[in-house]
Amino acid sequence: MGLTLHVQGLARDFEIHAGTPVIDGEVDAIWADVTPLPVSTNIDGADLSGPADASGQFRVLYDAENLYALVDVNDEALYNDSGSSYLDDSVEFYVDGDNTKAGPGLTGNARQYTFGWTTDDVQGTNTNLTGVEHAQVDTATGWRIEIKLPWQSLMGTAAPVGQRIGIDCFYNDDDDGADTRESQIAWHSLIGNDWQTAASWGTALVAEGGAADGANLLYVALQDSLNRTSVVTHPDPNVVQSSGWVAWTISLAEFADVDLASIARMSIGVGDRNDPKPGDAGVIFIDDVYLSLPPAVEPNDVAGP
């Protein structure tokens, strides 16, 4: 006999770790251990001739006051002449501080910041520009921008440590200097209209102390009428990150320290039950909790003499 429950978590695409870079457009040593994410999916406009035409990658860090991004762009023809940055060569950076996954329409803390090549001004939709800084440099294959976005401007709070935020990065490519862009590429979104749909952006965990959240183990505890408790932990440390439903069947034999005939309480939790720590946050769903019997033995399955 076993105890079965189904678990679904809110997955994240990557984790943002702590660090404070200098905003100078350079790849400082602090960025070295940050995994770059590709900006390469063509979501609007003409087909690209190759990576040199338009491609890129971005990295993200945070500290108590700010969210930081470093975006490297490959672009063999750079233009800024229309007055509207999204029609020229430009980086668009998106943050949904509440990870609402809402849209269409940017409201609340879902924000778009657009940084044109060689421009000082910042354009976008639903922006709060207080404290926003950026620095750009040209590179051998295009250009690079380093961005500082204060948490207070993004969402009116300190760093949301242990929580998830929505995030995406686009690049607009103008190949001929006319008042239109030729292509638009993205990291997570799939179509051009996703710029106003936070549901299409990726998800990042603002990791506490730079640590992964895989240590948030899922457990089930049974307590009997004599207040004896037995705890079983899920074997997968990342099950709480699952984006689909996961069935977990526990043999009742694993609850060896309690009287299964007098169970008074069942608890389901995340973390270390014996050493709980405050400060983390997240959402998981638990459904279909039931006892399951072993399969019946068919007559033909019984061995003969």
- DSSP of 97-127: TT-----SS--TTEEEEEEETT--SEEEES-
List pLDDT tens digits, range 155-204: 999 999 988 999 999 999 999 998 899 999 999 999 999 999 999 999 99
Distance (Å) of CA 230 to CA 225, 237, 255, 272? 12, 19, 5, 14
CATH of 14-210, one of 2.60.40.1190, 3.40.50.300, 1.20.140.10, 2.40.50.140: 2.60.40.1190
pLDDT in tens, the chain (305 residues): 899 999 987 678 899 999 999 999 999 999 998 999 999 999 999 999 999 999 999 999 999 999 999 999 999 999 999 999 999 999 999 999 999 999 999 999 999 999 999 999 999 999 999 999 999 999 999 999 999 999 999 999 999 998 899 999 999 999 999 889 999 999 999 999 999 999 999 999 998 764 444 457 899 999 999 999 999 999 988 788 776 789 999 999 999 999 999 999 999 998 888 777 665 556 788 999 998 776 655 555 555 54
Q: Please give the Cα distance from 238 to 256 (Å, whole number).
A: 25
Contact status, residue 184 vs residue 42, Cβ threshold 8 Å: yes
pTM for this model (two decimals): 0.73
Domain extents for the chain? 2-11+213-301, 14-210
Radius of gyration of the chain (CA): 25
